[in-house]
Amino acid sequence: MPARVDKIEIRDVTLAYGSFVVLRDIRARIRSGAVFVIMGGSGCGKSTLLQALIGLRAPTDGEVLYDGIPFWGSGPEARQERLRSFGVLFQNGALWSSMTLAENIGLVLGEFTDLTPPEIRDLSRFKLSLVGLRGFEDFYPSQVSGGMAKRAALARALALDPDILFLDEPSAGLDPITSRKLDELILQLRDSLGATFVVVTHELASIFAIADECLFLDGSTRTMRAQGSPRALLERADDPGVRAFLTRGASGMEPTDPAHAALGNLTKE
Amino acid sequence: MKSHRHSALGADGPSPARLDVEAAGEWSLVVRLSGDWLLSSDVPAFTEIERSIRAGSARRLGFETAALGRWNSALMVFLSKCTDLCRDRGIEMDTSGLPPGAANLLRLARTAADKRAPASGARSATWLERVGEGVLAFAGGAGGFLTFLGECVVALFRLLRGRAQFRWSDTFLVMQECGPQALGIVALINFIVGLILAFVGTLQLARFGATIYSADLVAIATVREMACLMTGVIMCGRTGAAFAAQLGTMRVNQEIDAFQACGISPIEFLVLPRLMALILMMPLLCVFAAAIAIAGGFAVSTLMLDVTPTVYVRRTIGAVTLVSFLLGLGKGTIFGVLVALTGCHRGIQCGTNAAAVGRATTTAVVTGITAIIVSDGVFAVVCSALNI
């Protein structure tokens, strides 16, 4: 029986800014079609790890493998080719402000496919309709709300039918209802597209709603402290730091319902 | 579930996408999809199915996808168009024959798209409307600048009374940026201007045997006119643009809104230090610029045109009057005020995106240089009328 090839393998990755080590010895294996969440407190290196995954920051040690093929160890052209199978949603959306929503998507399609302008227009409209923005094709990012801009950015990330979608703090700055709708959208897209999702977040409600597996990073030890499904981490983690994070610091609290845990102490406070 | 893959990563070459439309009973059509429906390969034109539907009287459209290979958004765009066409013609579209992922995506696009965008209502304006809008925009812009100017004057009075929300440390920082750090470019440009004036002037004066007067020409021209004019233009391109970019970026990041929300006047806290810095530094830069330009003229005259250094210096001292010197300083100060005001005004009124910052920077430089040239012309007329 052939060995299982993971969609993504993070193999003993160490990341540093100059001589300052941000993260060391990070290991994780992400299966195809999973929603994998990288979580941890502010400043623990979540976004830095994401940068290493999407080709923006080379690890000082270790390797990232996609479909069993080393990413940083391959040449620039192979890396560029691999990058085209990624979709990235940046924390603030990072839509190009001088272009309409449709142009934001169309630019990527025009650059990397042989589609004609009418085909690009049709495809852009479809991608926007997937995220509930049909009819907003000719709006500029400044003319839509934060939640809509985020969904438009997700549509842009979906432009090239990516194998893997990286979402950096998708719920940041969104109200709870919009945030929940975005979580539902992520799950629907995962189920429909079969794509693998890597999500950086510290929103507990989102983590319990979407994650198949989590990686908990710790800023004080500058490495990973736990890995597993959020429910398993909540029920079995003996690490007080992980428990404190997942229960929003309510030590001794034993929530049976993850949603209750996710909402934390709001009612207590 | 059959997942789709971007073709760049596909192991096999795509097989041709095919589309066959067959009647299934009197009122039904079945679309048979086969092959790989990928963005990177040719897929059948939508007009094929459109023609079949328009030609018949079908009330139901179904799909058969047993022979469908790999698919991605190319198939989804096709199905999305089918959905629109069926809705327009009142045809029931049965998606049960589609791959589950495709059917899900189609459902998602349909349900998520229920909330339609408001109609923009945009229509092309006539030329008369455009002229009118242009005039109104100009009037609005001029009014906005006058308001800004008024606010700056009020802020200056508050500063004089010691009541402005103002930090001298910010002013010293801006003075450092627009003073000492600008010396290099100011020296280079004005030295070359001095060289040019000496060359051109001497060529003309030589016709009358008056080469010696090149020192007078360079001294008067630079002290009264060129030093402050060139320094103003340099500062506009360098410092005015920087002011517009800094304040524009602060506008984009809502930092200016934050000042206002905290009850801090952006005019006093941001504009006043920049205005004061240029008011204080421009006269010094103009003196420096005039000295360097005279040095340029000295170099040309003494090294290449047979004028002795002693004669050149004596004629220069004799040519520069106190009135010319003060006029140069005064004009330089006014130019500094214009650079600060145009740069800060464009930055403060900047839009909220990256392109707007670029526009603010460009218009700050264009407006600033125009204002400098126009005001220099006014100075020339006034000085002529007053016989200065």
Q: Do B113 and A162 touch (CB under 8 A)?
A: no
**Residue B81 contacts A, CB cutoff 8 Å:** yes
Name the band, by pLDDT with cuts 50, 70 and 90, for residue B230.
Answer: very high
Q: Do A126 and B77 touch (CB under 8 A)?
A: yes
Q: Do B113 and A134 touch (CB under 8 A)?
A: yes
**Structure confidence at residue B116 (pLDDT):** 54
**Does pLDDT of A265 surpass 90?**
no
**Does pLDDT of A155 surpass 80?**
yes
Q: How many CB atoms lie within 10 A of CB B21?
A: 17
Q: Do B72 and A127 touch (CB under 8 A)?
A: no
**Structure confidence at residue B112 (pLDDT):** 62
* Average pLDDT rounded to a whole number, residues A43-68: 91
CATH of domain B4-114: 3.30.750.24
A contacts of B9 (beta carbons < 8 Å): 85, 163
> How close does chain B come to A117, measured CA to CA in Å?
13
**Does pLDDT of B125 surpass 50?**
yes
* Average pLDDT rounded to a whole number, residues B107-125: 64
Partner-chain residue, chosen from B104, B112, B353, that has the shortest CB–CB distance to A97: B353
* Average pLDDT rounded to a whole number, residues B274-290: 95
Structure tokens at A210: 């979407």
Name the band, by pLDDT with cuts 50, 70 and 90, for residue B91.
Answer: confident
Strand pairing class (A35-40; A86-89): unpaired
Name the band, by pLDDT with cuts 50, 70 and 90, for residue B242.
Answer: very high
**Does pLDDT of A174 surpass 90?**
no
Instruction: Provide, rounded to the nearest whole percent, the portion of chain A with pLDDT above 90.
Output: 36
pLDDT tens-digit readout, B197-210: 998 888 888 888 88
Name the band, by pLDDT with cuts 50, 70 and 90, for residue B148.
Answer: very high
pLDDT tens-digit readout, A127-139: 999 888 988 999 9
**Residue A85 contacts B, CB cutoff 8 Å:** yes
Q: Do A163 and B5 touch (CB under 8 A)?
A: yes
> How close does chain A come to B91, measured CA to CA in Å?
21
* Average pLDDT rounded to a whole number, residues A40-61: 90
> How close does chain A come to B45, measured CA to CA in Å?
11
> How close does chain B come to A140, measured CA to CA in Å?
10
Instruction: Provide, rounded to the nearest whole percent, the portion of chain B with pLDDT above 90.
Output: 48
Q: Which residue from B35, B38, B88 is spatially nearest to B66, judged by alpha carbons?
A: B35
**Does pLDDT of B368 surpass 80?**
yes
Q: Which residue from A127, A137, A113 is spatially nearest to A159, judged by alpha carbons?
A: A127
- A-contacting residues in B 8-67 (Cβ below 8 Å): 8-9, 39-40
**Structure confidence at residue B246 (pLDDT):** 94
* Average pLDDT rounded to a whole number, residues A225-242: 83
**Residue A111 contacts B, CB cutoff 8 Å:** no
Q: Is B83 helix (H, G, I), strand (E, B) or coil?
A: helix
* Average pLDDT rounded to a whole number, residues B103-130: 72
Task: Determine the residue type at A221.
Answer: T
Q: Is A25 helix (H, G, I), strand (E, B) or coil?
A: strand
B contacts of A125 (beta carbons < 8 Å): 80
Q: Do A133 and B117 touch (CB under 8 A)?
A: yes
Q: Do A161 and B39 touch (CB under 8 A)?
A: yes
pLDDT tens-digit readout, B164-186: 888 898 899 999 999 999 999 99
Name the CA radius of gyration of chain A, rounded: 19
Name the band, by pLDDT with cuts 50, 70 and 90, for residue A261.
Answer: very low
**Structure confidence at residue B339 (pLDDT):** 96
* Average pLDDT rounded to a whole number, residues B10-33: 79
Q: Which residue from A241, A248, A220, A190 is spatially nearest to A30, judged by alpha carbons?
A: A190
* Average pLDDT rounded to a whole number, residues B245-255: 89
**Does pLDDT of B53 surpass 60?**
yes
Interface test with chain A among B1, B2, B5, B6, by most A beta carbons within 10 Å: B6
A contacts of B254 (beta carbons < 8 Å): none
Packed helices B309-319 and B272-304: angle between N→C axes, nearest 10 degrees: 140
**Structure confidence at residue A264 (pLDDT):** 42
**Residue B161 contacts A, CB cutoff 8 Å:** no
**Structure confidence at residue A80 (pLDDT):** 84
**Does pLDDT of A199 surpass 90?**
yes
> In this structure, are residues A194 and B1 in contact, taking their beta carbons and an 8 Å threshold?
yes
Q: Cα-flanking dihedrals φ and ψ of residue B206, to 5°? A: -60, -25
Q: Calculate the average pLDDT of chain B.
A: 87
* Average pLDDT rounded to a whole number, residues B128-142: 90
**Does pLDDT of A242 surpass 70?**
yes
pLDDT tens-digit readout, A13-40: 999 988 889 999 999 999 999 999 999 8
pLDDT tens-digit readout, A57-68: 899 999 999 999
pTM over 0.80: no
**Structure confidence at residue B354 (pLDDT):** 82
> How close does chain B come to A192, measured CA to CA in Å?
4
**Does pLDDT of B337 surpass 90?**
yes
Interface test with chain B among A92, A129, A178, by most B beta carbons within 10 Å: A129
pLDDT tens-digit readout, A99-120: 899 999 998 888 888 888 999 9
CA separation for the pair B258, B33 (Å, rounded): 58
> How close does chain B come to A230, measured CA to CA in Å?
25
Q: Do B120 and A160 touch (CB under 8 A)?
A: no
Q: Do B113 and A135 touch (CB under 8 A)?
A: yes
**Does pLDDT of B93 surpass 60?**
yes
**Structure confidence at residue A194 (pLDDT):** 86
**Residue B207 contacts A, CB cutoff 8 Å:** no
**Does pLDDT of B54 surpass 70?**
yes
B contacts of A33 (beta carbons < 8 Å): 3
Q: Do A194 and B73 touch (CB under 8 A)?
A: no
**Residue B176 contacts A, CB cutoff 8 Å:** no
CATH 3.30.750.24 residue spans of chain B? 4-114
Q: How does A153-190 read in b/e, with b if 16+ C-beta sit within 10 Å?
A: bbbbbbbbbbbbbbbbbbbbebeeebbebbbebbebbb
Name the band, by pLDDT with cuts 50, 70 and 90, for residue B8.
Answer: very low
Q: Do A193 and B3 touch (CB under 8 A)?
A: yes
B contacts of A161 (beta carbons < 8 Å): 4-6, 39, 72-73
pLDDT top residue among B339 and A233? B339
Partner-chain residue, chosen from B6, B108, B353, that has the shortest CB–CB distance to A161: B6
Task: Determine the residue type at A61.
Answer: D
**Residue B321 contacts A, CB cutoff 8 Å:** no
* Average pLDDT rounded to a whole number, residues A162-167: 92
pLDDT top residue among A93 and B279? B279
* Average pLDDT rounded to a whole number, residues B24-37: 85
**Structure confidence at residue A1 (pLDDT):** 47
> How close does chain B come to A213, measured CA to CA in Å?
21
Q: Do A84 and B6 touch (CB under 8 A)?
A: yes
Q: Judging by beta carbons within 10 Å of its beta carbon (0-12, 13-18, 19+), is residue B124 exposed, middle or buried?
A: exposed
